[in-house]
Structure 1
Amino acid sequence: MRKIVLSLMLFSGAVAANAGGILTNSNQSAAYVRMLSRNASTDMDAVFYNPAGLALLKDGFHISLNNQFLFQKRSISNDYPYLNDKAYTGDVTIPFFPSFYAAYKKNDWTFFAGFTPTGGGGKATFNNGLPSFEVPASDIPTLLTQKGIATTDYALDMSFDGTSVIYGGQAGASYKVNRWLSVSAGARFVFAKNTYDGHLSNIRINPVSALNPTGGFISAPKFFSQMSASATGAASSLQPIITANYGGLTLQQAQAANILNANQVAALQAGLGKDYNAAMTIAQVQTAYQGNAAMLGAYATATADKQVDATQTGTGITPIIGVNINPNDKLNIGVRYEFRTKISLKNDTKVDGTGMFPDGKRSNSDMPAVLAVGVDYRILPDLKLSGSWTHYFDKDANWNGKEKFITDNLYEIALGFEYDVTPKMQVSGGYLYVQTGAGQGYQSDINFSLSSNSVAFGSAFKVSEKMKLNMGMIYTQYVEGTRYLTYNNGITAKETYNKNNLGFAIGIDYRF
């Protein structure tokens, strides 16, 4: 029987907070949540989106504090025919998703720093487990029935909580080369942490057999252990006959020679069920019982309670460069390039009933390189339009071979607007399209990447000459994804993935 909690291996990136790449979050400010297109920003969130654009700030010290409240619902269905429940849901709730930025501008130089949840950031809870947890258990009734032990149902208890977050602290400087050109350079130090806490326990089945004549639910490990012991006993009972050189006889021949009685023959035949045929010799019957004992013992081990309590941590450094072009008061263009971040995760395992998380073992979970380009254009004195394009070089990342299932690099296209209702109040909105490049081989019930459509709206209030308040709301609907899985028994099942996000944000920008 296959190991039951197989999918726990690849949780990294599974609970990405909202918009962004497979491992990377792009929702890093309240201004983003109300507009979606920020790659040409010249406000304080430019620390993340357009560092070179900070050269256009007013001289002085600036800070920005932001928090987002994010909610995600995941739904997975699997039409494997033996499953009791073909639909599974998981919830991600993130009440605290902060970002902080600071900058000091003096003449042509700006020095900046920031802290963001660069990737992940949430906790996914699947109270009823996942298809990959349940499929192996759902096979048991069919396997036993094929062996001649009528079994129609199974039950089990399972749950899984997982978190994945990558914190990033960055610093750097931007320089205004001339009136229209500025450049920037910096780096981000990232700390990645994944946690896995799950169990699959109390697997029960309802076989009708001598060990369970009523056909009620019985512990699967207990049943298989008893069956294994019974098969071992049957095999051992035949050893004296084989030692006496009667192993070449059939059971019927041994009965005719008064070596076995009718009840013993009937019991030996019944114990093998459909595996028995009349031409089998006693030696072959013993071998069959020994094989059944080993197989049933393996089933007892496979259906025993499984628990995982493991943490993975790792660090990396992301060099970041940028260019900002500001030819006139109406047009601004921002370009940012983030180099690939090499991250090696190390297991810290307390409990691992699956054998999937050897304590101290390392695995790769790189953050891919990113190229981001943005254009802001003020078409009217009170109306600014914005466009952003962000490209994630997923195919070049090292994900322990899983990157080979990336058919194309993920990219984002965003359009936004900002309208000055009054000198102190702005309203804004935006649309974001994300096209994933993950192929079917990448997708799993614990970690899938889908294309999506997002809409956002919000407002900004100029509280004073030095303070600005940003508020926004974003909703993301993902494009349903599918994968066809062929299991060890040859059955092919369709697995479907979907999710949606809802987020709210508030932030304050302040200049001293």
Structure 2
Amino acid sequence: MVARGASVDVDGVYYNPAGLVFLPNDGVQLSLTVQSAFQTRDIAATSSLWTMDGNQSTNFYKGKASAPVIPSVHGVWKTGKWAVSGFFGITGGGGKASFDDGLPMFDSGAIGLVTKESMLPTTHKPLLTPLMYDINSAMEGRQYIFGAQLGLSYKFNEHVAIFLGARMNYFSGGYKGFLNVSLKDGVAEGLANKMVGMLVQNGMPLTQAQELVKQKAGDMMAKLNDSKIDLDCDQTGWGLTPILGVDVKLGKLNLAAKYEFMANMNIENDTRTLNYPAGAEIFMAPFKDGVNTPSDIPAFLSVAAGYEFLPCLRASVEYHFFDDKHAGMAGSKEKALKHGTHEYLAGVEWDIDKFMTVSGGFQKTDYGLSDAFQGDTSFSCDSYSLGFGTRLNLTKHLALDVAYFWTKYSDYTKTEPRNALLTQMGLPTAGDQNVYSRSNKVFGVSAIYKF
């Protein structure tokens, strides 16, 4: 079931730790879960920059992200009014993503540099336009947040229980990428002949014109070679999340709440390779060795209600709030958010018989996005999700859960992301935009054992 905030089961270690003291039996329960997540993160970039011939065109950048194995372990020991619980798993990050054709931000930066370096002082027009050269680039990024949680639950009476605990978060990530520019076949020869002809026409002897063009061509090729970008950077950081929880059980109705305090976390670069031209400083400075970037884990509130309509039929509703707007981010971009993240969840589960339980649920996510918040290396899209699952009670002690989670995202359109560069180059800005889109599918299997 998608909405697990009022769960009284072993997964309550993470979702509703206060409710663990309402487990029907004392003893130890363990759960091992393995999830597989597969995502796409695509960008459709429309601009007059890609051709510089007065026409708009769209370049497509397809990103693939996968985390084939996302393990997590839940464990609880309940005795009387007390329960001690622990959790270890991947709690955040986007896994590993690769853009085999690079990103719009790097391509536009490369075009700006080449245009500047090939500008003719006499005509104030570039000798090279994007149709004359190829930009070869790729970017790969990875982000994982590993969480280790430990806490204590206490039941005051048959109705009220509380939880106090903390989770240690360790961030491991990094980026690898490259970019280089190469002239298309025949372009160099064609330009050289054109320049020689112009110089001869203006009265320069042929031999002198050829020598001058050879020298200029060498300078230009050297500048193209200097426009290369190479990046290999690891990033690490850690932060502590204090957690409070409460559970109120009123017969067939169960009410639960959990609050996770913000975890202050700085991500530090360990950069092995970082080569780029001076004109790319604005893009590449954040990847310099030793640079610390704020990447706080926002405060989080979960409020849930579960109700048992029949001994075999249960349903729950839930609300989440992530206080992203007050969590430090790179470049203070959290200030650009319209509001924190709101999530609304609902789910139902039905015991077909003693052997099988089926469940389904819904989740809607609203991020409060803005153009200033969105970027090529990190973007979000509002979404809704559907989840379905089955539990098989194999024995008195062993159960198996199988689940599928599918997310539908709303495309986000960022207008005029290259406005400053286009204005500087005298190109039209109208219609310049990036359309960000995503998809997500998650499969999960859990084994639960009750000692």
**3-state DSSP class of the match of 2:422?**
coil
Q: Which residue of 2 aligns with 1:375?
A: 305
- Taking structure 1 as reference, are residues 137 and 345 closer, same or farther at Cα in structure 2, changes over 3 Å only? closer
Q: CA RMSD in A?
A: 3.0
Deviations 1:164-211 (A, max 9, x none): 011000001000011100000000001001210111124335796788
Partner Cα distance (1:175, 1:83) in 2: 62
Deviation (angstroms), 1:147: 2.7
Deviation (angstroms), 1:449: 1.4
- Taking structure 1 as reference, are residues 51 and 155 closer, same or farther at Cα in structure 2, changes over 3 Å only? same
Deviation (angstroms), 1:436: 0.8
Q: Which residue of 1 aligns with 2:317?
A: 387
TM-score if structure 2 supplies the norm length? Answer: 0.85
Partner Cα distance (1:338, 1:148) in 2: 55
Are 1:100 and 2:73 an aligned pair?
A: yes
Gaps of 5+ in 1: 1-34, 216-226, 235-260, 273-291
Partner Cα distance (2:188, 2:36) in 1: 55
Partner Cα distance (1:263, 1:497) in 2: 53
Superposed counterparts of 1:79-478, under 5 Å:
79-83=46-50, 86-139=59-112, 140=114, 144=119, 146-147=124-125, 149=127, 151=129, 152-204=131-183, 212-213=191-192, 262-263=203-204, 299-300=223-224, 303=227, 305-328=228-251, 330-354=252-276, 355-356=284-285, 357-400=287-330, 401-478=332-409
Equivalent pairs: percent with the same residue?
33
Partner Cα distance (1:445, 1:302) in 2: 24
Partner Cα distance (2:181, 2:224) in 1: 12
Please identify which structure carries the higher strand content: 2
The one-letter amino acid paired with 1:348 is: D
Deviations 1:36-83 (A, max 9, x none): 100111111111111101111220011010011111011111111232
Q: Which residue of 1 aligns with 2:55?
A: none
| Contact kept in structure 1, 2:391 and 2:402, CA below 8 Å | yes
| Contact kept in structure 2, 1:158 and 1:201, CA below 8 Å | yes
Superposed counterparts of 1:69-88, under 5 Å:
69-83=36-50, 86-88=59-61
Partner Cα distance (2:40, 2:316) in 1: 30
Aligned residues: 414
- Taking structure 1 as reference, are residues 208 and 154 closer, same or farther at Cα in structure 2, changes over 3 Å only? closer
Partner Cα distance (2:325, 2:312) in 1: 42
Partner Cα distance (1:432, 1:362) in 2: 34
Deviations 1:220-258 (A, max 9, x none): xxxxxxx9xx9xxx9xxxxxxxxxxxxxxxxxxxxxxxx
Q: Which has the larger radius of gyration?
A: 1
Q: Which residue of 1 aligns with 2:411?
A: 480
Q: Which residue of 2 aligns with 1:500?
A: 439
| Bigger relative CO (Cα 8 Å, ≥ 6 apart) | 1
Deviation (angstroms), 1:483: 0.6
| Contact kept in structure 2, 1:183 and 1:324, CA below 8 Å | yes
Deviations 1:66-122 (A, max 9, x none): 011111011111111232761111111111001101111110000011012111151
- Taking structure 1 as reference, are residues 429 and 210 closer, same or farther at Cα in structure 2, changes over 3 Å only? closer
Q: Which residue of 2 aligns with 1:287?
A: none
Partner Cα distance (2:379, 2:288) in 1: 24
The one-letter amino acid paired with 1:318 is: T
**3-state DSSP class of the match of 1:487?**
helix
- Taking structure 1 as reference, are residues 150 and 104 closer, same or farther at Cα in structure 2, changes over 3 Å only? closer
- Taking structure 1 as reference, are residues 155 and 324 closer, same or farther at Cα in structure 2, changes over 3 Å only? same
Deviation (angstroms), 1:137: 3.2
| Contact kept in structure 1, 2:5 and 2:318, CA below 8 Å | yes
**3-state DSSP class of the match of 1:38?**
coil
The one-letter amino acid paired with 1:500 is: S
The one-letter amino acid paired with 1:344 is: N
TM-score if structure 1 supplies the norm length? Answer: 0.75
The one-letter amino acid paired with 1:173 is: L
- Taking structure 1 as reference, are residues 36 and 148 closer, same or farther at Cα in structure 2, changes over 3 Å only? closer
Are 1:68 and 2:35 an aligned pair?
A: yes
**3-state DSSP class of the match of 2:204?**
helix
Gaps of 5+ in 2: 52-57, 277-283
- Taking structure 1 as reference, are residues 141 and 324 closer, same or farther at Cα in structure 2, changes over 3 Å only? same
Partner Cα distance (1:503, 1:188) in 2: 24
**3-state DSSP class of the match of 1:161?**
strand
Deviation (angstroms), 1:157: 1.5
